[in-house]
Amino acid sequence: MEGLHQGDILKIEGIKHPILVASKDFFNANGEIIGCPIIYNSGPGPLHIWMSAENTEGYIHCEKLALLDLSVRGYRKMGRLPLPEMMNVSDAIQGIFEYI
């Protein structure tokens, strides 16, 4: 299994939308990731961040975090989200769990 990195955009077997790898590289090392779907025909919102990179564009749904075991699913890398945009996504996800 090739290395999975935070910010990778994946097409995963059995999942309709592309997935952004939100978890850090050390977490991804065992073949599991935490990812967010990228949905083209969606609307803006506090946790929907627009992205456009290489062959993928749409809203990253930060509230739809999912643990995905890629050791049992086929997948391919479609591209990468630039670091400044990944930082915005990470901040939005962290904001879900912050104290008041």
pLDDT at position 33 is 97
Task: Break the chain down into helix, strand, coil percent, rounded to 5.
Answer: 20, 40, 40
Domains with residue ranges and CATH for the chain:
8-97 (2.30.30.110)
User: Which amino acid, residue 85?
Assistant: E
> H or E segment at 28?
helix 25-28
pLDDT at position 79 is 95
pLDDT band at 14 (very low <50, low <70, confident <90, very high): very high
pLDDT digits (tens, 9 = 90+) for 90-100: 999 999 998 87
pLDDT digits (tens, 9 = 90+) for 40-90: 999 999 999 999 988 899 999 999 999 999 999 999 999 999 999 999 999
39 vs 31: CA distance, rounded Å: 23
pLDDT at position 1 is 53
